[in-house]
Amino acid sequence: MFLIDDILLSPVHGVVWICKEVFRAAQEEQADEGDRIRAQLCNLYMMLETAQISEEEFAAQEKVCLDRLELLESGEMEEIAAPGQTRGSGPDRVP
């Protein structure tokens, strides 16, 4: 009886494994995005200290980075959109 159960439930086990792998990959990608934002912030601080950008430019770019990092860490961000792209925009959106 256990052999029949294993055969019948193998598709379910396969789907569960795939879902776990997708979830793990999404978590890794989110962690990598956080690291990229932190590296960008470090670069901004270095550029400010070496006078490559003004304080106004630094403040604007820092705010964007910190907002993205806060959203990412709070879990509210579904995906990080490219600059100029808003959530819900796209060809499949109905006006």
Whether residue 77 contacts residue 71, with contact meaning beta carbons closer than 8 Å, is answered with yes
Which two tokens mark 31? 């962690």
| Calpha distance 20→15 (Å, rounded) | 9
Which two tokens mark 35? 């690291």
- Note down pLDDT in tens along the chain; length 95 residues: 677 777 888 888 899 999 999 999 988 988 888 889 999 999 999 999 999 989 999 999 999 999 998 888 887 655 444 444 444 444 443 43
| Calpha distance 34→69 (Å, rounded) | 6
Model pTM?
0.56
Task: Break the chain into its structural domains and give their ranges.
Answer: 2-74
